[in-house]
Structure 1
Amino acid sequence: MTSTPVQNTAVTADDGVRLWASRSGRGTSGTTPLMLCHGGPGLWDMSEDVAGMFDDRATVVRWDQRGCGRSEPCAGPWTTDCFVADLDAVRRHFALERPVLLGHSWGASLALSYTLAHPEHVAALVYVSGTGIGPDTDWHGAFEENFLARLGEDPQRLARWRELPGESRERAVLQWSAEFVDRDRAIEHAERMADPWFPINFPCNKALNAEAKQTAGTSALYAACQALDVPVLIVDGAQDTRPRSAVDSLERALPRVRRVTLPAAGHLPWVEDPYGFRDAVMTAAQ
């Protein structure tokens, strides 16, 4: 939990959709603010603990992407360009000129897209647990195998996951439990992700994943990353079910990149190695 006052507010996107956002921390005029982009797509911000790691040093802003979580229900549009515009609306609302932008999982892809579109408004990009810029075939098959193997360490959990409907909170908790290396605490960690619980936005998920498959691996994306003049920190959990080799494509393309791999962490590295994660991110925020 954050140790400083939290300001929750509504941000109006360019097309009038209202987005939930939150600001916390002890930022001053001499510190670089931090903006967080949650994963999904179709989920909501679960990074209160991440904000709490840095609120003694910086202003921290987090938000729920459109149509998700505490943001206003809407019918889209579900495009990366629209989400980039929403992120810029949040940045402008809080008058953040050049924050450090930290994206997790699909949010890492969104943060990268924003940085490519608006490099003048990003002091540094922290790319956490993403899947790189290569084609989906580079990693998705291995991810599915790793996921089933980890969840299948408890056959009852795997069987229960398979029988539950996709919109079930219990199914999500079981699925998210595979993200953690510590199997004894995996359900506990996943329950924390699901509290509070909101409906998963499946149309958003489907549309943005389909768009990502079309753009990943393209020469235009590689060229844009090769020309990016913004420092990037890649943070991996070595035990992520998504193969970390997928991120090599991004690391090779970027001219100003550093990479930190936390050996005992999974897809949410701040949960299983909070000190290593904080130390890594603090180097990007300096």
Structure 2
Amino acid sequence: MYQEQILQINGVRLWTAVQGTGLPMVLCHGGPGGYDYLSSVADMVSDLCQVVRYDQRGSGRSQPIGPYDVSTFVDDLEGLRKHFNFERWIVGGHSWGAGLALAYAVRFPARTVAVLHIAGTGIDDRWHDEYRENRLNALIESEREEYQRLRTQREDAKGAKGERILDRLRTLSRKTDVFDPNCVDNLPSFDEYPISNAANEMVGADWKRYTTDSKFQQSVYNLPMHVLFLHGACDPRPGHFIETLASKLFYGTFVSIPESGHYFWVEKPDEVKAALRQFVVDYVINDTV
């Protein structure tokens, strides 16, 4: 089964794709402001799960209508669940989408059977400084100098010039998201649709407020369902924050994928597939602890 459609959800038209049969699952792409690129991940479990993918509001094939904040994005997810008439579902996401999955599980624990936190950044805002350092160290000297120069120019750049600077910064960052440089060309390209910088900036700022809220942090620690934290061992986004977060959850499981970066299913598809399927079978289908 595979079906793409545009749905009217929570006052906005959202592009969706559904594939597979079995337990309901949703996968949230990263960004914010990007669009879906998780078909390969969905393929890994589509014989076990009915997987929903979608472009978040303001992104890709979905309608560019705000507001752009975490609460609205959670409402959109819940609207999708209701549309598909799923009583409960596995909520997963990659990068920023992993944070969105956590926010949904906190607000709707009774509707969340499990969470997949795939290469996310967790809820400790200190990760970003270390990430910047790791990213710079992964670039060659000329690229490092260019990156730092563009970061400075971006502060005052407006309009088309600012967009060009952001595009170049993203291109340089992509090079640091792999362990094997030969895999860079296999990463999601984001060439088909423009990145929504408005959604990126506004949702990103709102997510930072979430991650510095002690009540939200405690709610994540108290999640009553199993949470799988998958992280690439060579992702410049530091994995030790994620491992620490997993250890604070009663039902948290941390799995590091060796010799891989941010899009680890591109570099280590067999290992990622095995980890995802084992989690779904052990902690959802068999409901073991």
Which residue, out of 245, 248, 253, partners 1:253? 248
Are residues 266 and 59 of structure 1, via their aligned partners in 2, closer, same or farther at CA, if it must alter by over 3 Å?
same
Quick one: percent identity of the two aligned structures? 36
Correspondence for 1:72: 63
Equivalent position SS for 1:200 = coil
Correspondence for 1:47: 38
Are residues 69 and 223 of structure 1, via their aligned partners in 2, closer, same or farther at CA, if it must alter by over 3 Å?
same
CA contact (8 A) 2:45 2:276 kept: no
CA contact (8 A) 2:229 2:253 kept: yes
Q: Determine if the alignment matches structure 1 residue 185 to structure 2 residue 175.
A: no
**Gapped regions of structure 1 (runs ≥ 5):** none
Q: Determine if the alignment matches structure 1 residue 59 to structure 2 residue 50.
A: yes
Correspondence for 2:91: 101
CA contact (8 A) 1:33 1:96 kept: yes
Q: Determine if the alignment matches structure 1 residue 7 to structure 2 residue 3.
A: yes
Q: Normalized against structure 1, the TM-score is what?
A: 0.87
Q: Normalized against structure 2, the TM-score is what?
A: 0.86
Q: Residues of 2 paired with 1:129 and 1:235: CA distance?
A: 6
Letter in 2 for 1:120: A
Correspondence for 1:19: 14
Shift of 1:158: 6.7
Are residues 271 and 45 of structure 1, via their aligned partners in 2, closer, same or farther at CA, if it must alter by over 3 Å?
same
CA contact (8 A) 2:95 2:120 kept: yes
Letter in 2 for 1:146: N
| 1:63-142 paired onto structure 2 within 5 Å | 63-74=54-65, 76-134=66-124, 136=125, 138-142=126-130
CA contact (8 A) 1:44 1:65 kept: yes
Q: Residues of 2 paired with 1:158 and 1:50: CA distance?
A: 35
CA contact (8 A) 1:7 1:23 kept: yes
Q: How many residues align?
A: 270
Q: Residues of 2 paired with 1:159 and 1:225: CA distance?
A: 38
Letter in 2 for 1:39: G
Which residue, out of 136, 145, 162, partners 2:133? 145
Letter in 2 for 1:262: I
Correspondence for 1:216: 211
Shift of 1:210: 1.4
State the Cα deviation string for residues 138-195 of structure 1 (Å, max 9, x = none): 2111111111221326x35974896695534565344223211101232x123xx125
Shift of 1:55: 2.1
Q: Residues of 1 paired with 2:33 and 2:19: CA distance?
A: 24
Letter in 1 for 2:181: R
Q: Residues of 2 paired with 1:49 and 1:83: CA distance?
A: 23
Correspondence for 1:276: 271
Are residues 166 and 183 of structure 1, via their aligned partners in 2, closer, same or farther at CA, if it must alter by over 3 Å?
farther
State the Cα deviation string for residues 66-109 of structure 1 (Å, max 9, x = none): 010110122x1111110000011112222222221111111000
Equivalent position SS for 1:127 = strand
Which structure features the higher share of helix residues? 2
Which residue, out of 172, 194, 212, partners 2:170? 172
Letter in 2 for 1:218: D
Letter in 2 for 1:42: G
Q: Determine if the alignment matches structure 1 residue 197 to structure 2 residue 195.
A: no
**Gapped regions of structure 2 (runs ≥ 5):** 155-160, 282-289
Q: Residues of 2 paired with 1:83 and 1:130: CA distance?
A: 17
Q: Residues of 1 paired with 2:94 and 2:36: CA distance?
A: 10
State the Cα deviation string for residues 190-225 of structure 1 (Å, max 9, x = none): 3xx125521111111111221222221332023212
CA contact (8 A) 1:67 1:73 kept: yes
Q: Residues of 2 paired with 1:166 and 1:181: CA distance?
A: 29
